[in-house]
Amino acid sequence: MSSDPWGRVDETGTVYVRTADGEQVVGSWQAGTPEEALAYFERKYEGLVVEIGLLEKRVKTTDLSAKDAQAAIDHIREQVDAHHAVGDLAALKERLDRLVETVDARREERKQQRAKQSDEARHAKEELVAEAEQLAQSDQWRAAGERLRALVDTWKGLPRLDRKSDDELWHRFSHARSAFSKRRKAHFASLDAQREEARRTKERLVAEAESMSGSTDWGPTAARYRELMTEWKAAGRAQREHEDDLWNRFRGAQDVFFAARSSVFAERDAEQSENLKLKEELAEEAEKILPVTDLKAARAAFRSVNERWEAIGHVPRDARPKVEGRMHAVERAIQEAEEAEWRRTNPEARARAAGLTGQLQAAVDKLRSQIEQARAQGNNARADKLERELEGRQALLDQALKGLQEFGG
Protein backbone atom coordinates (compact mmCIF):
# COMPACT_ATOMS: atom_id res chain seq x y z
CA MET A 1 0.00 0.00 0.00
CA SER A 2 1.18 3.56 -0.75
CA SER A 3 -0.08 6.89 0.65
CA ASP A 4 0.60 10.67 0.97
CA PRO A 5 -1.16 13.49 2.89
CA TRP A 6 -4.04 13.70 0.34
CA GLY A 7 -4.50 10.12 -0.81
CA ARG A 8 -3.54 6.46 -0.76
CA VAL A 9 -3.65 3.22 -2.79
CA ASP A 10 -4.80 -0.04 -1.12
CA GLU A 11 -3.78 -3.61 -1.85
CA THR A 12 -6.42 -3.98 -4.58
CA GLY A 13 -5.17 -0.94 -6.50
CA THR A 14 -8.08 1.28 -5.47
CA VAL A 15 -7.03 4.95 -5.15
CA TYR A 16 -8.54 7.17 -2.42
CA VAL A 17 -8.47 10.93 -1.81
CA ARG A 18 -8.80 12.38 1.69
CA THR A 19 -11.50 15.05 2.16
CA ALA A 20 -13.24 16.69 5.09
CA ASP A 21 -16.03 14.16 4.66
CA GLY A 22 -13.62 11.25 4.76
CA GLU A 23 -11.92 9.24 2.07
CA GLN A 24 -13.47 9.19 -1.37
CA VAL A 25 -12.70 6.67 -4.11
CA VAL A 26 -10.79 8.25 -6.95
CA GLY A 27 -10.45 5.20 -9.17
CA SER A 28 -8.67 1.92 -9.69
CA TRP A 29 -5.07 1.51 -10.83
CA GLN A 30 -3.81 -1.83 -12.18
CA ALA A 31 -1.19 -0.79 -14.67
CA GLY A 32 1.70 -0.03 -12.40
CA THR A 33 2.92 0.62 -8.91
CA PRO A 34 0.90 2.42 -6.24
CA GLU A 35 3.34 5.32 -6.38
CA GLU A 36 2.66 5.68 -10.07
CA ALA A 37 -1.08 5.63 -9.38
CA LEU A 38 -0.82 8.48 -6.85
CA ALA A 39 1.45 10.44 -9.19
CA TYR A 40 -1.08 10.07 -12.01
CA PHE A 41 -4.04 11.36 -10.01
CA GLU A 42 -1.91 14.10 -8.46
CA ARG A 43 -1.10 15.29 -11.99
CA LYS A 44 -4.83 15.42 -12.68
CA TYR A 45 -5.14 17.58 -9.57
CA GLU A 46 -2.41 19.91 -10.84
CA GLY A 47 -4.28 20.08 -14.11
CA LEU A 48 -7.37 21.32 -12.26
CA VAL A 49 -5.22 23.87 -10.42
CA VAL A 50 -3.88 25.19 -13.72
CA GLU A 51 -7.37 25.23 -15.26
CA ILE A 52 -8.77 27.19 -12.30
CA GLY A 53 -5.84 29.60 -12.45
CA LEU A 54 -6.39 30.25 -16.13
CA LEU A 55 -10.11 30.81 -15.56
CA GLU A 56 -9.39 33.26 -12.73
CA LYS A 57 -7.10 35.20 -15.03
CA ARG A 58 -9.68 35.29 -17.83
CA VAL A 59 -12.37 36.54 -15.46
CA LYS A 60 -10.12 39.32 -14.15
CA THR A 61 -8.42 40.43 -17.36
CA THR A 62 -10.87 39.80 -20.22
CA ASP A 63 -14.47 40.64 -21.06
CA LEU A 64 -15.54 37.01 -20.55
CA SER A 65 -19.29 37.01 -20.05
CA ALA A 66 -20.72 35.96 -16.70
CA LYS A 67 -22.64 33.19 -18.44
CA ASP A 68 -19.53 31.70 -20.04
CA ALA A 69 -17.53 32.10 -16.83
CA GLN A 70 -20.20 30.32 -14.78
CA ALA A 71 -20.34 27.48 -17.31
CA ALA A 72 -16.58 27.04 -17.03
CA ILE A 73 -16.78 27.09 -13.24
CA ASP A 74 -19.55 24.47 -13.25
CA HIS A 75 -17.51 22.28 -15.60
CA ILE A 76 -14.46 22.37 -13.30
CA ARG A 77 -16.63 21.94 -10.22
CA GLU A 78 -18.07 18.74 -11.69
CA GLN A 79 -14.55 17.41 -12.05
CA VAL A 80 -13.66 18.40 -8.50
CA ASP A 81 -16.89 16.91 -7.10
CA ALA A 82 -16.24 13.69 -9.04
CA HIS A 83 -13.04 13.16 -6.92
CA HIS A 84 -11.02 12.07 -9.93
CA ALA A 85 -7.85 13.70 -8.62
CA VAL A 86 -5.67 13.52 -5.54
CA GLY A 87 -4.97 16.78 -3.75
CA ASP A 88 -6.55 19.50 -1.62
CA LEU A 89 -9.97 19.36 -3.28
CA ALA A 90 -11.45 21.61 -0.57
CA ALA A 91 -8.98 24.34 -1.52
CA LEU A 92 -10.10 24.03 -5.13
CA LYS A 93 -13.75 24.33 -4.09
CA GLU A 94 -12.94 27.44 -2.07
CA ARG A 95 -11.19 28.98 -5.07
CA LEU A 96 -14.19 28.13 -7.23
CA ASP A 97 -16.55 29.65 -4.63
CA ARG A 98 -14.49 32.85 -4.56
CA LEU A 99 -14.46 32.85 -8.34
CA VAL A 100 -18.27 32.54 -8.33
CA GLU A 101 -18.43 35.58 -6.04
CA THR A 102 -16.15 37.46 -8.41
CA VAL A 103 -18.29 36.49 -11.42
CA ASP A 104 -21.48 37.48 -9.55
CA ALA A 105 -19.90 40.82 -8.67
CA ARG A 106 -18.87 41.30 -12.29
CA ARG A 107 -22.36 40.32 -13.40
CA GLU A 108 -23.91 42.92 -11.09
CA GLU A 109 -21.37 45.51 -12.15
CA ARG A 110 -22.10 44.86 -15.79
CA LYS A 111 -25.82 44.90 -15.09
CA GLN A 112 -25.48 48.31 -13.50
CA GLN A 113 -23.23 49.42 -16.32
CA ARG A 114 -25.75 48.24 -18.89
CA ALA A 115 -28.53 49.99 -16.96
CA LYS A 116 -26.47 53.18 -16.91
CA GLN A 117 -25.68 52.85 -20.62
CA SER A 118 -29.34 52.16 -21.30
CA ASP A 119 -30.37 55.29 -19.36
CA GLU A 120 -27.76 57.32 -21.20
CA ALA A 121 -28.89 55.89 -24.54
CA ARG A 122 -32.53 56.58 -23.66
CA HIS A 123 -31.71 60.15 -22.68
CA ALA A 124 -29.63 60.63 -25.85
CA LYS A 125 -32.40 59.23 -28.06
CA GLU A 126 -35.03 61.35 -26.32
CA GLU A 127 -32.89 64.42 -27.03
CA LEU A 128 -32.54 63.33 -30.67
CA VAL A 129 -36.30 62.89 -30.93
CA ALA A 130 -36.97 66.31 -29.34
CA GLU A 131 -34.54 68.01 -31.71
CA ALA A 132 -35.97 66.13 -34.71
CA GLU A 133 -39.51 67.19 -33.77
CA GLN A 134 -38.35 70.78 -33.50
CA LEU A 135 -36.54 70.60 -36.84
CA ALA A 136 -39.70 69.18 -38.41
CA GLN A 137 -41.24 72.69 -38.10
CA SER A 138 -38.21 74.50 -39.54
CA ASP A 139 -38.24 76.41 -42.82
CA GLN A 140 -34.45 76.26 -43.09
CA TRP A 141 -34.72 73.43 -45.56
CA ARG A 142 -31.07 72.75 -46.32
CA ALA A 143 -29.67 73.23 -42.82
CA ALA A 144 -32.53 71.31 -41.17
CA GLY A 145 -32.28 68.48 -43.71
CA GLU A 146 -28.53 68.11 -43.15
CA ARG A 147 -29.02 68.17 -39.40
CA LEU A 148 -31.71 65.46 -39.56
CA ARG A 149 -29.37 63.24 -41.58
CA ALA A 150 -26.68 63.78 -38.95
CA LEU A 151 -29.17 62.83 -36.23
CA VAL A 152 -29.88 59.55 -38.04
CA ASP A 153 -26.16 58.73 -38.04
CA THR A 154 -25.99 59.56 -34.34
CA TRP A 155 -29.03 57.35 -33.66
CA LYS A 156 -27.40 54.41 -35.45
CA GLY A 157 -24.37 54.71 -33.21
CA LEU A 158 -26.40 54.44 -30.01
CA PRO A 159 -27.17 51.07 -28.34
CA ARG A 160 -30.69 49.70 -28.58
CA LEU A 161 -33.10 49.96 -25.67
CA ASP A 162 -35.77 47.49 -24.79
CA ARG A 163 -37.92 46.84 -27.84
CA LYS A 164 -40.97 48.78 -26.68
CA SER A 165 -39.08 51.90 -25.66
CA ASP A 166 -36.82 51.80 -28.70
CA ASP A 167 -39.75 51.32 -31.08
CA GLU A 168 -41.72 54.17 -29.51
CA LEU A 169 -38.82 56.62 -29.74
CA TRP A 170 -37.97 55.51 -33.27
CA HIS A 171 -41.58 55.99 -34.32
CA ARG A 172 -41.52 59.59 -33.07
CA PHE A 173 -38.12 60.17 -34.65
CA SER A 174 -39.21 58.71 -37.99
CA HIS A 175 -42.50 60.62 -37.89
CA ALA A 176 -40.63 63.92 -37.38
CA ARG A 177 -38.39 63.17 -40.36
CA SER A 178 -41.39 62.25 -42.51
CA ALA A 179 -43.26 65.41 -41.48
CA PHE A 180 -40.26 67.55 -42.41
CA SER A 181 -39.87 65.75 -45.75
CA LYS A 182 -43.56 66.28 -46.57
CA ARG A 183 -43.37 69.98 -45.70
CA ARG A 184 -40.18 70.42 -47.71
CA LYS A 185 -41.67 68.57 -50.67
CA ALA A 186 -44.80 70.72 -50.53
CA HIS A 187 -42.70 73.87 -50.23
CA PHE A 188 -40.57 73.10 -53.25
CA ALA A 189 -43.62 71.97 -55.22
CA SER A 190 -45.19 75.35 -54.47
CA LEU A 191 -41.91 77.07 -55.31
CA ASP A 192 -41.75 75.22 -58.61
CA ALA A 193 -45.30 76.33 -59.38
CA GLN A 194 -44.41 79.93 -58.51
CA ARG A 195 -41.29 79.78 -60.67
CA GLU A 196 -43.29 78.35 -63.55
CA GLU A 197 -45.80 81.19 -63.19
CA ALA A 198 -42.90 83.66 -63.02
CA ARG A 199 -41.46 82.14 -66.21
CA ARG A 200 -44.74 82.59 -68.08
CA THR A 201 -45.09 86.15 -66.81
CA LYS A 202 -41.53 87.05 -67.77
CA GLU A 203 -41.88 85.52 -71.21
CA ARG A 204 -44.87 87.80 -71.73
CA LEU A 205 -42.86 90.80 -70.48
CA VAL A 206 -39.93 89.87 -72.74
CA ALA A 207 -42.22 89.60 -75.76
CA GLU A 208 -43.68 93.05 -75.10
CA ALA A 209 -40.23 94.55 -74.41
CA GLU A 210 -38.88 93.15 -77.66
CA SER A 211 -41.89 94.42 -79.60
CA MET A 212 -41.23 97.99 -78.36
CA SER A 213 -37.46 98.05 -78.88
CA GLY A 214 -37.80 99.79 -82.27
CA SER A 215 -40.32 102.42 -81.09
CA THR A 216 -39.59 106.13 -81.58
CA ASP A 217 -42.43 107.22 -79.32
CA TRP A 218 -39.82 108.02 -76.71
CA GLY A 219 -41.82 109.26 -73.74
CA PRO A 220 -44.66 106.73 -73.54
CA THR A 221 -42.37 103.86 -74.49
CA ALA A 222 -39.81 104.75 -71.82
CA ALA A 223 -42.62 104.98 -69.27
CA ARG A 224 -43.90 101.56 -70.35
CA TYR A 225 -40.42 100.07 -69.99
CA ARG A 226 -40.34 101.37 -66.41
CA GLU A 227 -43.69 99.72 -65.77
CA LEU A 228 -42.41 96.46 -67.26
CA MET A 229 -39.39 96.58 -64.96
CA THR A 230 -41.69 96.98 -61.94
CA GLU A 231 -43.74 94.00 -63.13
CA TRP A 232 -40.54 92.02 -63.69
CA LYS A 233 -39.38 92.56 -60.12
CA ALA A 234 -42.81 91.68 -58.76
CA ALA A 235 -42.95 88.44 -60.77
CA GLY A 236 -40.26 86.69 -58.72
CA ARG A 237 -37.56 84.38 -60.04
CA ALA A 238 -38.17 81.77 -62.72
CA GLN A 239 -36.33 78.45 -62.91
CA ARG A 240 -32.57 78.86 -62.92
CA GLU A 241 -32.22 77.45 -66.45
CA HIS A 242 -34.67 80.10 -67.79
CA GLU A 243 -34.03 83.15 -65.58
CA ASP A 244 -30.73 84.32 -67.07
CA ASP A 245 -31.85 83.87 -70.68
CA LEU A 246 -35.11 85.74 -70.07
CA TRP A 247 -33.29 88.56 -68.30
CA ASN A 248 -30.72 88.90 -71.10
CA ARG A 249 -33.50 89.17 -73.68
CA PHE A 250 -35.49 91.62 -71.55
CA ARG A 251 -32.47 93.80 -70.82
CA GLY A 252 -31.30 93.58 -74.41
CA ALA A 253 -34.61 94.90 -75.73
CA GLN A 254 -34.42 97.86 -73.33
CA ASP A 255 -30.82 98.56 -74.29
CA VAL A 256 -31.76 98.74 -77.99
CA PHE A 257 -34.56 101.24 -77.30
CA PHE A 258 -32.67 103.44 -74.85
CA ALA A 259 -29.54 103.47 -77.00
CA ALA A 260 -31.61 104.73 -79.93
CA ARG A 261 -33.34 107.29 -77.71
CA SER A 262 -30.03 108.49 -76.31
CA SER A 263 -28.67 108.97 -79.81
CA VAL A 264 -31.71 111.02 -80.87
CA PHE A 265 -31.72 113.00 -77.63
CA ALA A 266 -28.03 113.75 -78.01
CA GLU A 267 -28.69 115.26 -81.45
CA ARG A 268 -31.72 117.14 -80.13
CA ASP A 269 -29.79 118.43 -77.13
CA ALA A 270 -27.06 119.78 -79.40
CA GLU A 271 -29.69 121.49 -81.58
CA GLN A 272 -31.54 122.92 -78.58
CA SER A 273 -28.29 124.22 -77.07
CA GLU A 274 -27.63 126.11 -80.29
CA ASN A 275 -31.24 127.41 -80.27
CA LEU A 276 -30.70 128.64 -76.70
CA LYS A 277 -27.70 130.69 -77.76
CA LEU A 278 -29.74 132.32 -80.55
CA LYS A 279 -32.70 133.10 -78.26
CA GLU A 280 -30.42 134.54 -75.59
CA GLU A 281 -29.03 136.91 -78.26
CA LEU A 282 -32.59 137.91 -79.27
CA ALA A 283 -33.58 138.43 -75.61
CA GLU A 284 -30.58 140.72 -75.19
CA GLU A 285 -31.60 142.64 -78.36
CA ALA A 286 -35.20 142.96 -77.05
CA GLU A 287 -34.05 144.26 -73.67
CA LYS A 288 -32.29 147.16 -75.43
CA ILE A 289 -35.75 148.44 -76.49
CA LEU A 290 -36.36 149.46 -72.87
CA PRO A 291 -37.11 151.95 -71.49
CA VAL A 292 -39.88 152.76 -74.00
CA THR A 293 -39.51 156.32 -75.26
CA ASP A 294 -41.09 155.88 -78.68
CA LEU A 295 -44.02 153.47 -78.42
CA LYS A 296 -44.43 152.98 -82.17
CA ALA A 297 -40.74 152.26 -82.72
CA ALA A 298 -40.68 149.95 -79.68
CA ARG A 299 -43.62 147.95 -81.07
CA ALA A 300 -41.93 147.55 -84.44
CA ALA A 301 -38.59 146.54 -82.93
CA PHE A 302 -40.20 143.95 -80.64
CA ARG A 303 -42.29 142.56 -83.53
CA SER A 304 -39.10 142.02 -85.54
CA VAL A 305 -37.37 140.28 -82.64
CA ASN A 306 -40.41 138.10 -81.91
CA GLU A 307 -40.74 136.93 -85.52
CA ARG A 308 -37.14 135.74 -85.48
CA TRP A 309 -37.74 134.20 -82.03
CA GLU A 310 -40.68 132.10 -83.26
CA ALA A 311 -38.63 130.87 -86.22
CA ILE A 312 -36.12 129.27 -83.83
CA GLY A 313 -36.92 125.81 -82.47
CA HIS A 314 -37.06 124.50 -78.89
CA VAL A 315 -34.45 125.15 -76.22
CA PRO A 316 -33.49 122.81 -73.32
CA ARG A 317 -36.39 122.49 -70.88
CA ASP A 318 -34.45 123.64 -67.82
CA ALA A 319 -33.31 126.83 -69.60
CA ARG A 320 -36.72 127.70 -71.10
CA PRO A 321 -38.27 129.65 -68.14
CA LYS A 322 -35.34 132.00 -67.81
CA VAL A 323 -34.89 132.95 -71.45
CA GLU A 324 -38.65 133.20 -72.13
CA GLY A 325 -39.06 135.24 -68.95
CA ARG A 326 -36.69 137.83 -70.34
CA MET A 327 -38.83 138.22 -73.50
CA HIS A 328 -42.06 138.33 -71.50
CA ALA A 329 -40.64 141.10 -69.32
CA VAL A 330 -39.96 143.26 -72.39
CA GLU A 331 -43.42 142.48 -73.78
CA ARG A 332 -45.11 143.47 -70.51
CA ALA A 333 -43.16 146.75 -70.38
CA ILE A 334 -44.39 147.65 -73.88
CA GLN A 335 -47.98 146.70 -72.95
CA GLU A 336 -47.81 148.89 -69.85
CA ALA A 337 -46.55 151.78 -71.98
CA GLU A 338 -49.48 151.26 -74.38
CA GLU A 339 -51.97 151.28 -71.49
CA ALA A 340 -50.47 154.45 -70.06
CA GLU A 341 -50.65 156.15 -73.47
CA TRP A 342 -54.26 155.09 -73.87
CA ARG A 343 -55.24 156.45 -70.50
CA ARG A 344 -53.46 159.70 -71.22
CA THR A 345 -55.19 160.25 -74.56
CA ASN A 346 -58.73 159.07 -73.71
CA PRO A 347 -61.06 162.16 -73.26
CA GLU A 348 -63.91 160.21 -71.70
CA ALA A 349 -61.68 158.58 -69.16
CA ARG A 350 -60.08 161.96 -68.33
CA ALA A 351 -63.51 163.51 -67.84
CA ARG A 352 -64.60 160.72 -65.52
CA ALA A 353 -61.36 161.07 -63.55
CA ALA A 354 -61.83 164.86 -63.24
CA GLY A 355 -65.43 164.43 -62.10
CA LEU A 356 -64.50 161.88 -59.46
CA THR A 357 -61.68 164.07 -58.25
CA GLY A 358 -64.04 167.05 -57.87
CA GLN A 359 -66.54 164.98 -55.91
CA LEU A 360 -63.85 163.67 -53.55
CA GLN A 361 -62.42 167.17 -53.04
CA ALA A 362 -65.87 168.50 -52.11
CA ALA A 363 -66.41 165.65 -49.65
CA VAL A 364 -63.02 166.30 -48.05
CA ASP A 365 -63.73 170.05 -47.68
CA LYS A 366 -67.13 169.32 -46.14
CA LEU A 367 -65.63 166.89 -43.59
CA ARG A 368 -63.02 169.44 -42.56
CA SER A 369 -65.73 172.05 -41.98
CA GLN A 370 -67.78 169.60 -39.90
CA ILE A 371 -64.71 168.68 -37.81
CA GLU A 372 -64.02 172.36 -37.01
CA GLN A 373 -67.65 172.89 -36.03
CA ALA A 374 -67.65 169.82 -33.75
CA ARG A 375 -64.45 170.94 -32.03
CA ALA A 376 -65.90 174.39 -31.51
CA GLN A 377 -68.99 172.83 -29.89
CA GLY A 378 -66.79 170.65 -27.66
CA ASN A 379 -68.05 167.42 -29.27
CA ASN A 380 -64.67 165.73 -29.50
CA ALA A 381 -66.11 162.23 -29.97
CA ARG A 382 -67.92 163.32 -33.16
CA ALA A 383 -64.84 165.23 -34.29
CA ASP A 384 -62.65 162.10 -33.84
CA LYS A 385 -65.12 159.98 -35.81
CA LEU A 386 -65.23 162.53 -38.64
CA GLU A 387 -61.42 162.67 -38.73
CA ARG A 388 -61.23 158.89 -39.26
CA GLU A 389 -63.70 159.22 -42.12
CA LEU A 390 -61.63 162.14 -43.49
CA GLU A 391 -58.51 159.94 -43.60
CA GLY A 392 -60.28 157.45 -45.91
CA ARG A 393 -61.68 160.13 -48.20
CA GLN A 394 -58.31 161.90 -48.38
CA ALA A 395 -56.60 158.65 -49.45
CA LEU A 396 -59.15 158.22 -52.23
CA LEU A 397 -58.66 161.86 -53.29
CA ASP A 398 -54.88 161.45 -53.43
CA GLN A 399 -55.26 158.38 -55.61
CA ALA A 400 -57.72 160.19 -57.92
CA LEU A 401 -55.38 163.17 -58.26
CA LYS A 402 -52.52 160.84 -59.20
CA GLY A 403 -54.69 159.23 -61.88
CA LEU A 404 -55.74 162.64 -63.20
CA GLN A 405 -52.07 163.65 -63.52
CA GLU A 406 -51.55 160.65 -65.81
CA PHE A 407 -54.06 162.21 -68.21
CA GLY A 408 -51.98 165.42 -68.16
CA GLY A 409 -54.49 167.18 -65.89
What are the extents of the domains in the chain?
A: 2-114, 121-191, 269-345, 347-406
What is the full per-residue pLDDT of the chain (409 aa) written as tens digits?
A: 566 789 898 888 899 989 888 888 988 887 788 888 888 999 999 999 999 999 989 988 888 888 889 899 999 999 888 888 999 999 999 999 999 998 888 888 888 888 888 888 889 988 989 989 998 898 898 999 999 999 899 988 888 888 998 899 899 989 999 998 999 999 888 888 888 899 999 999 999 999 999 999 988 999 999 999 999 999 988 888 889 999 999 899 999 988 998 888 888 888 889 898 988 888 898 888 888 888 888 889 989 989 998 888 888 889 889 988 988 998 898 888 888 777 766 666 666 667 777 887 888 888 888 888 888 888 888 888 888 887 887 887 788 777 666 655 4
Rounded to whole angstroms, how far apart are CA atoms 304 and 297? 11
Strand order through the sheet with 22-28: 2-4, 7-9, 14-19, 22-28
Q: Any idea which fold 2-114 has?
A: Methane Monooxygenase Hydroxylase; Chain G, domain 1 (1.20.58)
Asked whether the beta carbons of 202 and 230 are under 8 A apart, the reply is no
Quote the pTM value. 0.42
Q: How many CA atoms lie within 13 A of 396 on its CB side?
A: 15
